[in-house]
């Protein structure tokens, strides 16, 4: 059984304009939240201009509508219809007072439902953007994760590295004997795996407390040319083409050249993996370049790989989060910390099956 209001929201009704005090209406028109007011018959009697902007529909397209009419509106895109249905189920059918969602532009919204005797049978939905709150929440989560990582890495690094060093030494001593037995390949595999374990430990230590930058003048053009040269052969083996855009020679930043190289290398290798994981016959392309934007330089790395959805983008820089089978989830977390230590930031945009674009913003030396 559905409630009287649930039924009224769904069933078509004849809209009759309800007079509202013009002072109150003017106030509601200028607040930063979206508002929708349904009467006791489930007919939308008021919506402010912020709400029209959220729905991306003109006023005449929704006034006097029920939920059914709104969902049938061909001007309302599929994503918004899906979120509207979910919100209806959560708040109207399940009785929850709030519902949160991320829209197709990556913005976060909280929808609240106000009803009861004080509303005189009407139902008020408010839509408030909470993207800033979510950003603060994610930053706090990252800081907590990094603090935990610092304690964890400090306690395990010493205990693990000592036995690994001993194992490596004994394997090197056994190497001539394995060579005589024709099993030299075993020694190479063991040494390679020990080195990989050491690299993972190093990543843990770097993530928890990246070393202080060795500051110097870094020409952006020379930096990108060197990184592209280092990755070109690996890209060709994976069926990718790296295209370095023409660069201005006067773009110079202040920072640690090794750390900057680490960040760009990490992003190019991520791009190669994203192209490989796409799994079709499309020729993989990676674009690398930089341009001046006021007092900053924007370094970009874009690819036509598998792309990422909104949920993945939200967690991309969180420590330990990875979509790779053998990933540690630390590469982008480390990169983000390095760039912040240099007074910059990393932004990312992506679409599933279209590709991803990373932009590193850093202050220029004037």
Does domain 4-129 correspond to CATH entry 3.40.50.280?
no
Residue pair 256/215 in contact by the 8 Å Cβ criterion? yes
For residue 110, give Cα distances in angstroms to 16, 47, 97, 248, 348.
Answer: 29, 17, 10, 45, 24
Least Cα distance to 309 among 348, 275, 279, 283 occurs for: 348
Scored b (16 or more CB within 10 A) or e, 102-136 reads: beeeeebbbbebebeeeeeebbebbbbbeeeebee
Using CA atoms, how far apart are residues 169 and 216, in angstroms rounded to an integer?
Answer: 37
pTM of the model: 0.51
C-alpha to C-alpha distance for 232 and 237, rounded to whole angstroms:
9
Could you give the C-alpha distances from 336 to 73, 207, 226, 267, 358, in angstroms and in order? 42, 10, 21, 11, 11
pLDDT value for 21 = 56
Find where tokens 């709030």 sit. Answer: 98
Q: Where are the domains of the chain?
A: 4-129, 134-208, 216-363
So what's the pLDDT on residue 301? 94
Question: What stretches in the chain show pLDDT beneath 50?
Answer: 1-2, 13-19
118, HSE (Cβ side, Cα atoms, 13 Å): 4
In angstroms, the Cα distances linking 57 to 118, 196, 224 are 30, 55, 45
Question: Could you tell me which residues come within 8 angstroms of residue 32 by beta carbon, excluding any fewer than 6 positions away?
Answer: 50, 128, 129
pLDDT digit string (tens) for 1-49?
A: 445 555 555 555 444 444 455 666 777 787 888 988 888 888 888 888 8
DSSP for 262-331 reads: HHHHHHHHHHHHHHHHH-SSPPEEEEEEEEEETTEEEEEEEE-SS---HHHHHHTTSTT---STT--S-H
3-state secondary structure string across 208-244: HCCCCCCCEEEEHHHHHHHHHHHHHHHHHHCCEEEEE
- Is residue 125 within 8 A of residue 111, CB to CB? The reply is yes
Task: State the pLDDT at residue 16.
Answer: 47
Q: CB neighbours of 36 closer than 8 A, spacing ≥ 6? A: 44, 46, 47, 51, 124, 125, 127
What pLDDT score was predicted for residue 85?
87
The values of phi and psi at residue 349, to 5°, are: -130, 145
Nearest to 7 by CA among 40, 46, 37: 40
Q: What's the confidence (pLDDT) of residue 157? A: 67
Which residue is it, tokens 């599933």? 352
Q: Would you tell me which CATH number, out of the four given (3.40.50.300, 3.40.50.2300, 3.30.565.10, 3.40.50.620), belongs to the domain 216-363?
A: 3.30.565.10
Q: How many Cβ atoms are within 10 Å of 30's Cβ, its own excluded? A: 10
Lookup: tokens for 261: 């190289």
Element at 111 (helix H, strand E): strand 108-114
């Amino acid at each position: 059984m559905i409630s009287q209001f649930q039924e009224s929201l769904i069933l078509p009704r004849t809209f009759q304009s309800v007079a509202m005090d013009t002072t109150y209406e003017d106030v509601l028109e200028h607040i930063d939240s979206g508002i929708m007011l349904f009467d006791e018959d489930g007919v939308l009697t008021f919506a402010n201009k912020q709400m029209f902007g959220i729905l991306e529909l003109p006023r005449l397209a929704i006034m006097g509508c029920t939920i059914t009419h709104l969902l049938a509106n061909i001007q309302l895109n599929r994503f918004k219809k899906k979120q509207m249905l979910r919100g209806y189920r959560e708040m109207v059918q399940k009785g929850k007072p709030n519902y949160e969602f991320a829209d197709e532009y990556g913005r976060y919204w909280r929808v609240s439902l106000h009803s009861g005797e004080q509303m005189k049978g009407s139902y008020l939905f408010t839509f408030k953007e909470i993207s800033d709150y979510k950003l603060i929440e994610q930053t706090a989560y990252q800081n907590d994760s990094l603090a935990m990582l610092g304690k964890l890495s400090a306690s395990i690094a010493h205990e693990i590295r000592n036995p690994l060093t001993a194992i490596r030494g004994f394997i090197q001593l056994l190497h001539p004997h394995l060579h005589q037995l024709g099993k030299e390949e075993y020694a190479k595999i063991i040494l390679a795996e020990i080195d990989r374990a050491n690299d993972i430990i190093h990543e843990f230590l770097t993530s928890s407390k990246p070393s202080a930058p060795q500051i110097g003048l870094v020409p952006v053009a020379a930096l990108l040319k060197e990184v592209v040269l280092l990755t070109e052969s690996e890209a060709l083996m994976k069926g990718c083409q790296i295209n370095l855009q023409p660069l201005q020679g006067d773009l110079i930043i202040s920072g640690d050249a090794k750390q900057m190289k680490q960040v760009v290398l990490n992003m190019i290798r991520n791009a190669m993996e994203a192209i490989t994981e796409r799994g079709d016959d499309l020729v993989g392309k990676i674009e690398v370049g930089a341009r001046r934007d006021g007092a900053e330089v924007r370094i970009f790395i874009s690819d036509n790989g598998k792309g990422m959805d909104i949920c993945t983008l939200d967690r991309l820089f969180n420590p330990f989060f990875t979509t790779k089978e053998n990933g540690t989830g630390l590469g982008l977390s480390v990169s983000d910390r390095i760039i912040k230590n240099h007074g910059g930031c990393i932004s990312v945009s992506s679409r599933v099956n279209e590709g991803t674009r990373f932009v590193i913003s850093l202050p220029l030396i004037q």
